[in-house]
Structures are given as C-alpha cells and as structure tokens.
Chain A
Amino acid sequence: MTIFTSIPRKLEEVLDARTPLASRRDFLKASGLIVVSVGAVAASVSPLVSAVEGDGAKGQGTGPYPDPDFRQLDSWIVIHGDNTATFYVGKTDCGQGTGTAFRQMMADELDIGYDSTSLVMGSTDVTPDQGGSGGSDAIQRDGWPMRRVAAEARRILLELASERLEAPVEELVVNDAVVSLRANPSRQVTYADLVGGQRFDVSLMGRNVNETTGVANVKPVEALRIVGQSPMRYDIPPKVDGSLTWAVDMTLPGMVHARNIKPPVAGGRLRSVEESSVRDLPGFIRVVRKGNYLAVVCEREEQAITAARRLKTNWEKPSSAPFPTSEELFSYMRAATPTSKFEPDPTGDPEAALAGAATVIEAEYDVPFQGHTAFGPAHALADPSNGQMTIYTNDMKSYGMRVGIAEFLGMPRDRVRVVWMEGSQAYGRTAADDAGFEAAFLAKEIGRPVRLQWMRDEETAWDTKGTAFTFALRGGLDSQGKLVAFDYNAQAADYNHVGYNEVETVLVSQLMGTRLETPNSGRAATPSAMYTIPHRREATQVVSLPMVWETPLRTGNLRDPNGPQVTFASESFIDELAAAGTVDPVAFRLGLLTASTDDDSGFKRARSIAVIRAAAEAYGWDTRPSPKARGEGTVVSGRGIAYAYRSETVVAEIAEVEVNRDTGHVWVKRLVCAHDCGLVINPEGLRRTIECGMLHSLSRALHEEVQFDNEKVTSVNWRSHPSLVHADTPAVIDVVLVNGDPNPDRSDLPPYGAGETVCKPLIAAVANAIFDATGVRLRRIPFRDERVLAELTAAAV
C-alpha cells in the first residue's frame, strides 16, 4: 500500500514510492522509454484553468508562447473545482465529430461522466503538438496517448484518494469522478477534492508525443462504458443556433480587411500596379505587393472587395503555355516523359501469364484534376500585437502552420501561435493553407490585425487540386475464368505536390519567388493488394505539367489522396474481368480473397471477406454476372460493388443506379456500405462520416472536374465546377458496421481509422452499377449527363 504525504510531483516519485528503485529502472529499461524529470512549478493553479475560464486562448496575448510539454500530465488534463475536467489535445476536427470521440475515450479512462468534460483542440499555445488532423488517424493513432494520459490521471487520483481515505487503492471504486470505499460507499472523495484547480505536477514518459504514457494501463474493451455509445456531438448545437464563433467570424479591435489579386493567367509576372486607381476609394489603407503577390487592405470588408476588383494592374504573360488544356490533358500525360518511375519487381511472370491466358482484356482509365473547392473560401485573421503573431484559422494542421509562418516571417517560433477554430470542410486543403500566411504577412506590414478571405473564383481556380491520373490496365483469365495476371500502369500529374504548410509550398511564398531547390517528386499510388493474383505487376510514373511553380494546378492532398482515382480504375477493371469471365462480381472478388488468419495479409483477407459478405447481405445481392438483361424502358437500373482496404480499415460499397437513356442522367438511388474499422468509438458519428464520405466521392463520380484553357483555370464557381446537390441524394443509404476480427471479443480490439477509406471504392461501385444497368463501361469521370449520353449513344443503348 502506498500512502503519500503530499501530492507527488513527478511520476518518478510515484514509482519510487510504489516499487523498489531497481525494479522501476528495469521497467523503464524494458519499456524502452525515457523519463524526463521536470522541475516543480511554483504556481499551483494551472495556467490552463485560467486560460479556459478566462477565455485566454482567444485574447490578444502578450506572449511568448512556448510549446506545451507533452510529458507533463497538466498539459493534457485539468480537473476543475466543480469536479469537471477539461482535456487538451493537439488535434483538430474537420467535421467528423472527432472532438466528441476524444472526450469519450478520455472520459472513459478517467472514469468521469462524458457530460462533465470539455475539450480544447489545436491551439498551439495550450495543446500539445499532435500534428493536427490528417490521414484519418485521429483515433487510430492519436487516441492512444489521450487514453493513456487519462488512465494515468485516474491512477494518480486513486493514489491520492487512497491517502485521503486511508484505504488501499484496491479497496476503492470510482464512479463519475467520485472515489469511494467499496465496502463503505459513504466514505468518498471527489476528484475536485483531490486536485480541483491544482496541478498534478506529474511527468510522463515517451520519446515523442505518440508514445506519451504513464504507467497505468488503458482499460480492456469490455470495461469501456462511454466508448461505443453515441453521445451527441457537443459542437452541433452552437453550429445550429448561430452561437459558435468560427475562424471566419473572429474579430479584434482595430481589425482591417484584405483581399488578394491573383494573376489573371498562370505564371503572370506583375509589371506594375496603379495604386492611384483605388487610392481615393473609401476606407482604402494600402496596396501591398511582393513579387507576384498582390493584396489590398481597407477598413471595411466590402471596401476591400471593391478595391481588389478596381485595382489596375499590368501583368506579363509567360512566354510559353503553362499547361495543356483540360481537353488535351490525358493525351499530354500519356506522351510526357515521367519525372520519376517506380517499377518494383513483379510477382511471378505477368507477361508470360498474359501470353498464356485464355482471355486477355485491356483498358485505359482517366481521372481529371478535381478541386477541394471548399465551401468557405480560405480565410484567416492575424494579430501582430505585442510583438507576437497570433493567427486565428481553421488550418487542420495548426502546428505546421505555426512553424511555417515563423519561418516565413523570420520570427522566433515561440512568438507565433496559431489558434485553431472551426471552419469550412478542410479535407487536405487547409494542410497547405495560404490564407494564414497571407494574413500574417499583411498584419506585419500594416501593423494592425488583418482579416483576409479569398473570393469564390480565387478559391475554385487556385486551391490545391486532387491529382489527375491516367491508367493502362491488362488482365488475363485462365480457361476457368480465374484471374491469373494483372498488369497495372498508372501515371499521375503530381510533380511538385505541395506539402504541409512549409514555407516553400504555400502559394503566397511561391508568388513571392521562394522555391524549393528540388520540387517534391510526387507519387502515384497502387491499389490495395489484398487480392491473391499469381502474376502481378504494378508500375507507376509521375509526370509534370510545363509549369511547376505559381500554378493553379498544383496538387495537394485531397481526402484520401490518390485513393478514389486508383480504386476507380482498379475496382472497375476487376469488374471488367469478372464480366469477361461471366462471373458474379461479388463471387469473383471473394474468389480472389483466400482467407487464413495466420499472417497479417491473411488477417486482412479474412476481414475483407466478412465485409464483402456483409455488404452483399445488407443489399440483398442477387448472384449473377453483369451486365443484366437490359430493360426497354427509358430508365434502366443496375447494381455494382467495389471494395477497398486502407490502413487496417476495410469497406465494401454497393451502389444501385438508375440511368436515363434519353438524357444520360445517373441517379444513385441506394448505397450500402459495410465498414470495419475495429473498435467503434461513436457509432452514430461514424455512420454519418461514412454517409458523407461516400457522397463526397459520389460528387467526384458525377460532377467534379477542373477545366482549364492553356493559360488559366476556367472552373471558377459552382456553375463551372459543379458539385453534388440535394436532388442527387440517394433515397436510401444503409451502413453496416462490421467487426470482422477473427476474434471479435478481443479485449485489445484496436480502433482503426475511419473517414477516408469510404471515399475509395464509391466511384467504381457507381461505374460498375452503370455497366450492370446498360452494358456500357465508363472509364473516365465525371459521369456528367452529356458524357454518359454520348457513351450510351455510341453503344446504341
């Protein structure tokens, strides 16, 4: 039994009191972790308490803003005097409700009611750097340190309660932040009684933030009470009643407004600016120019918009075309010399297998550039007060933005802070967020807080783009219709893919003339490799458009980068092979997934089989080859399946379509998704994320394409870059949450990622359904009415 006479100051004290020194050292050595001893802090009231209760995170601070120490428990959790807790995590929420999930996980480990908790995310001065958002790994990766620190806090609190109640820890129980004696529940003490408003002053371990841990174990799955429930998202009521202050709503005293002026053509050189054309406009403050970056600053927002439109400028066009037209794109890409190639050794001998195959089919697929086209154009507010720089932003990687802006402005990092606030859907766009950099630059120039927002045409034309692809595929079937050879060749227009808020990658610094010495090589992905195919080759190339810098066709991470494109081609082609062998599309896929659970790929295939079967069962799949016998009516229907694996998460999606033979219009009437992401934290939140992710890919399947002539993007608004609308919505969406783990009752079932995986197979599922309905194979997205009608007409459907 351990009785403390005072609050333990460091983890080592706890360990020292509990175990002999030698064994503690052994533990640390065996665990491979390093304990960093941090000196005791004089102030007893946590600064986080005052930051939150005084809303200090959003005031004009005096700085500096050092990094919160992830090895201090106080950086993660504060217990308040009213027996509630606030959690601090270095994540941001792109709209999937991850904040609610974080609270569920941490509350469960801490043994406090969900409603007694609150959460602060993504502000670089008060939350440990967990990198913000990206990769759908918020719960899969970043949830673990959150759970471990909450478990450690519970352990410390039990030790303190043991001292206060003069009873061993083993005889204590915790219920909603109240510790009591199991044998005598009237003897109790609350978390607030123990540390309310005070620091824990406990050090944690871990070489990096992902490893952060104390010595407490997280709970086994069967002991979790809040995880697996669906508390409503805390952020929804203030979003629905108008009370939430979003990044776009943030204001400060003395704030002014800015708008950019982009080059009228890609690669334009700014020769001159006639400031006199706007100097007499009301509210005009200044024209700011550096290189080809140009902005105007005014007192009021509408004044800045007017001034930006009226400012007379003289641009020089580049001497050669910056890119082919969007109509010429795919032929250009196929003819281009790759900037890089990746051709790993094949499995087996694909050429010999194709030569000996009973049936060989070949097909080419094309995917155009597609935009993020965020609903709310890029925006930020930057405050240069007190020699610091604070940026209020919806940047999903606020920590990266802080580092990038410090370098961009030549300021020490601890004088820059980035305060994350809610914003329009991000999905990768705000991982390379120009507006924060621009607002900070202008604020430094003007010496007043500057709020900047992009206009619609600017956002749609100049945001980062999802990569365009061309694919050339070959497949061979043996005489029994079994797939024996698969040859995959992909080209991606991804050269100089932008990174994460690095100085060289954001557009504003490119316009100012900053260049990486070597452009990012980019990449072209391959399909998830779960199918067992004896002879397989996968070659990828990256190609470059003529213009590499300052281009509106610069690629960035668009939700599941590469996934929807690659899976459209690969899962459509699998369907072509099934049809060539006159085999049912579900049966064909299951035939390629030979399950066993004795190795990792076998484990993945076992889960894949479970998911595909669950989708087929939920849909009521009728086993038969595609296409089906076509009806004679104007509207014909069909169904298609596609499947994908991504970072331990597996999905199968079935689309049921109606195709109008007179107009070419496609309506996806029903969607079914079977989804296995391991342990589910919030089932209702997950369902909505799945529904919306599928519909995002449906928008890409039916509508989205960035069009351009050979000097500028011509898709500049919701007419010229259309998006899914209400009328496109399926009548029914069924989501089946599967736990296909071979041991579904494992105590250590981990949560895998959710969000991006569902974006992968949807386009192929729709294409396969259109083929089933019409017998026509569509190999280029989007399936806009005119393109579908042309294909139907050409095939005499």
Chain B
Amino acid sequence: MSEVTLTVNGVTHTVDVDPVTPLLYVLRNDLGLKGPRFGCGLGQCGACTVIVDGVATRSCMTRVARVQGAITTLEGLAKEGELHPVQQAWIDEQVPQCGFCQNGQILTAKALLDRNPNPTDTEIREGMSGALCRCMTYYRIQAAIKRVVGSLASGQSASVEEGVE
C-alpha cells in the first residue's frame, strides 16, 4: 500500500492503496463516486469512463498511481446545481433505458464535443463507437448529442467548454 493523491471533481484526496489498483475501484470504493462502473475491465465498453485532463479515459485499465491530471466523473459534470448541457440533453431526449452504460456515453460525448463542438453525423457515430449500450439507446444518444450541438449553435445554452476541468 502507498499514499496516492488524486484531484477528482476539483477536490484533492489522498488514499492509501496498492499503487497498481485500477483507478475505477479507488473512485468507487474509497471515494464513493459510483458514476463509473465495471463493465468489462478490458477497456472495450466504456462503462468505467472518466475524463482526465479533457480526455475520456477508461478507469478500469488505468493504474491509480499513474494518473497525473485532474479527474472529472459523472458526479462532477454539474456546476453549481446546473446540469451540464450534455446531461440536460440526455433528460430532454429521454435517452436511457436501463441507464447502466450512460456514464460512459455522457462522458464520451462530453469529451467529443469539447474536442469538436460541431461534429458531423459521421463524426458522432465514429467518435462514440467505443461506448457500448446493450439496451441499444444509440439512436437517442446521437439525437441528444445533436440537440447539444444545436443549442450551442443557437446560443441557447452554456458552452460545454465550461465543463472542462
């Protein structure tokens, strides 16, 4: 065991864990952040996604001691009680079925839009393809992303850039 310091959702934590522990278990079991979840442990499904310095990262494959940047989890997207535009679009579009994968979908979408605020349909389909959904909510996820893009274009909503750590 050794002490590891993490900055998560703007708060600094020090935990005493085996440094090879996947970040996922530290977030869930030591810090009580349950947004990221175990889906495959192989980086194939996206359930465990967190954002590290703007990059969607698979926490199941990331050793806790190797994390250098600031971490954002699903719980950290909302600011001052305001949902992130991507989260609001997910509600407006009524995206989830069971919802188990949506942590990965939302954070992958956020990272995609931060990188490319005006993606084409093809860029959305390809940019999201690493995030699996077994309820197959893909059609509504893509609609929700387009909804965010549309609201950004018309200036109806805050910039998604505000969500970047």
B is bound to A? yes
* A interface residues, Cβ below 8 angstroms from B: 94-97, 232-233, 235-237, 239-246, 248-249, 251, 282, 300-302, 305, 373-377, 422-426, 453, 455-456, 684-685, 688-689, 691-692, 695-696, 698-699, 717-719, 723-731, 733
Q: Which stretch (B34-42, B51-59, B148-156, B157-165) binds chain A?
A: B34-42
By the criterion CB–CB under 8 Å, are B83 and A300 in contact?
Answer: no
Complex: how many Å from CA A425 to CA B39?
Answer: 12
**CB proximity of B27 to chain A, nearest CB, Å:** 11
Given contacts A376-B38, A456-B40, contact A727 B129 (CB under 8 A): yes
A-facing residues in B3-44 (Cβ within 8 Å): 18, 21-22, 25, 28-29, 33-35, 37-42, 44
By the criterion CB–CB under 8 Å, are A696 and B135 in contact?
Answer: yes
21 interchain pairs (CB within 8 A)? Answer: A95-B96, A232-B91, A239-B96, A240-B91, A241-B74, A242-B33, A300-B25, A301-B28, A373-B134, A374-B134, A424-B100, A424-B134, A425-B135, A453-B38, A456-B39, A688-B97, A691-B139, A692-B97, A692-B135, A719-B44, A726-B126
**CB proximity of A433 to chain B, nearest CB, Å:** 15
B103 at the interface (CB under 8 A from A): yes
By the criterion CB–CB under 8 Å, are B101 and A375 in contact?
Answer: yes
The contact string, 1 if C-beta is below 8 Å from chain A, for chain B 72-95, is 011101100001000100110011
By the criterion CB–CB under 8 Å, are B87 and A376 in contact?
Answer: no
By the criterion CB–CB under 8 Å, are B129 and A717 in contact?
Answer: no
**CB proximity of A376 to chain B, nearest CB, Å:** 5
Taking CB atoms, residues of chain B closer than 8 Å to A240 are: 83, 87, 90-91, 95-96, 99, 102, 106
The contact string, 1 if C-beta is below 8 Å from chain A, for chain B 129-143, is 101111111111110
Taking CB atoms, residues of chain A closer than 8 Å to B40 are: 456, 717-718
Taking CB atoms, residues of chain A closer than 8 Å to B33 are: 242
**CB proximity of A451 to chain B, nearest CB, Å:** 10
* B interface residues, Cβ below 8 angstroms from A: 1, 18, 21-22, 25, 28-29, 33-35, 37-42, 44-45, 47, 73-75, 77-78, 83, 87, 90-91, 94-103, 106, 121, 124-126, 128-129, 131-142
**CB proximity of A523 to chain B, nearest CB, Å:** 25
Taking CB atoms, residues of chain A closer than 8 Å to B87 are: 240-241
Given contacts A282-B1, A688-B97, contact A241 B132 (CB under 8 A): no
Closest to A451 in B: B29
Taking CB atoms, residues of chain B closer than 8 Å to A723 are: 132, 134
By the criterion CB–CB under 8 Å, are A425 and B97 in contact?
Answer: yes
Complex: how many Å from CA A730 to CA B41?
Answer: 29
Complex: how many Å from CA A304 to CA B139?
Answer: 38
By the criterion CB–CB under 8 Å, are B102 and A239 in contact?
Answer: yes
Closest to A682 in B: B94
Complex: how many Å from CA A725 to CA B138?
Answer: 8
Q: Contacts A242-B75, A301-B29, A726-B138 given; 19 further ones with Cβ under 8 A? A: A236-B91, A236-B99, A237-B91, A240-B96, A242-B73, A244-B99, A248-B34, A248-B38, A301-B28, A375-B39, A376-B37, A377-B39, A423-B100, A691-B139, A699-B136, A718-B132, A726-B141, A727-B129, A733-B139
Q: Which of A233, A249, A696, A726 contacts B34 (CB 8 A)?
A: A249
Which among B42, B100, B131 has the greatest number of chain A C-beta atoms within 10 A? Answer: B100
**CB proximity of B72 to chain A, nearest CB, Å:** 11
By the criterion CB–CB under 8 Å, are B94 and A425 in contact?
Answer: no
Given contacts A236-B96, A246-B34, A301-B29, contact A718 B129 (CB under 8 A): no
Taking CB atoms, residues of chain B closer than 8 Å to A698 are: 136
Taking CB atoms, residues of chain B closer than 8 Å to A95 are: 96-99, 135
**CB proximity of A427 to chain B, nearest CB, Å:** 9
Given contacts A300-B29, A726-B142, contact A717 B42 (CB under 8 A): yes
By the criterion CB–CB under 8 Å, are B73 and A696 in contact?
Answer: no
List of 4 A-B pairs having minimum Cβ-Cβ separation, nearest first = A95-B98, A695-B136, A95-B97, A239-B99
Q: Which of B37, B44, B96, B139 contacts A695 (CB 8 A)?
A: B139
Taking CB atoms, residues of chain A closer than 8 Å to B125 are: 726-727, 729
Taking CB atoms, residues of chain B closer than 8 Å to A94 are: 97-98
**CB proximity of A313 to chain B, nearest CB, Å:** 21
Closest to B29 in A: A301
Taking CB atoms, residues of chain B closer than 8 Å to A719 are: 44
Taking CB atoms, residues of chain B closer than 8 Å to A729 are: 125, 138-139, 142
**CB proximity of B85 to chain A, nearest CB, Å:** 12
**CB proximity of A117 to chain B, nearest CB, Å:** 19
**CB proximity of A450 to chain B, nearest CB, Å:** 14
By the criterion CB–CB under 8 Å, are A242 and B74 in contact?
Answer: yes
By the criterion CB–CB under 8 Å, are A424 and B98 in contact?
Answer: yes
**CB proximity of B136 to chain A, nearest CB, Å:** 3
Taking CB atoms, residues of chain A closer than 8 Å to B137 are: 688, 692
Complex: how many Å from CA A728 to CA B103?
Answer: 21
Taking CB atoms, residues of chain B closer than 8 Å to A97 are: 97
Q: Which of A233, A302, A422 contacts B25 (CB 8 A)?
A: A302
Taking CB atoms, residues of chain A closer than 8 Å to B1 are: 282
Which among A377, A424, A455 has the greatest number of chain B C-beta atoms within 10 A? Answer: A424
Complex: how many Å from CA A208 to CA B37?
Answer: 40
Taking CB atoms, residues of chain A closer than 8 Å to B139 are: 691, 695, 729-730, 733
Closest to B93 in A: A688
Taking CB atoms, residues of chain B closer than 8 Å to A241 are: 74-75, 77-78, 83, 87
**CB proximity of A160 to chain B, nearest CB, Å:** 38
By the criterion CB–CB under 8 Å, are B100 and A232 in contact?
Answer: no
Complex: how many Å from CA A251 to CA B34?
Answer: 11
Which among B18, B75, B99, B132 has the greatest number of chain A C-beta atoms within 10 A? Answer: B99
Closest to B34 in A: A249
By the criterion CB–CB under 8 Å, are A689 and B35 in contact?
Answer: no
Taking CB atoms, residues of chain B closer than 8 Å to A426 are: 98
Taking CB atoms, residues of chain B closer than 8 Å to A689 are: 97
By the criterion CB–CB under 8 Å, are A695 and B99 in contact?
Answer: no
Complex: how many Å from CA A696 to CA B139?
Answer: 12
By the criterion CB–CB under 8 Å, are B29 and A692 in contact?
Answer: no
By the criterion CB–CB under 8 Å, are A456 and B132 in contact?
Answer: no
Closest to A232 in B: B94
Taking CB atoms, residues of chain B closer than 8 Å to A727 are: 125-126, 129
Complex: how many Å from CA A225 to CA B122?
Answer: 41
Q: Which of A282, A699, A725 contacts B129 (CB 8 A)?
A: A725
Taking CB atoms, residues of chain B closer than 8 Å to A282 are: 1, 18
Q: Which of B73, B129, B131, B136 contacts A692 (CB 8 A)?
A: B136
Complex: how many Å from CA A692 to CA B140?
Answer: 9
Complex: how many Å from CA A95 to CA B133?
Answer: 12
Q: Which of B94, B102, B121 contacts A731 (CB 8 A)?
A: B121
Complex: how many Å from CA A37 to CA B30?
Answer: 52
Complex: how many Å from CA A375 to CA B33?
Answer: 19
By the criterion CB–CB under 8 Å, are B99 and A375 in contact?
Answer: no
**CB proximity of B110 to chain A, nearest CB, Å:** 12
Taking CB atoms, residues of chain A closer than 8 Å to B35 are: 242
Taking CB atoms, residues of chain A closer than 8 Å to B96 are: 95, 233, 236, 239-240
**CB proximity of B81 to chain A, nearest CB, Å:** 10
By the criterion CB–CB under 8 Å, are A375 and B74 in contact?
Answer: no
By the criterion CB–CB under 8 Å, are A236 and B90 in contact?
Answer: yes
Complex: how many Å from CA A206 to CA B96?
Answer: 36
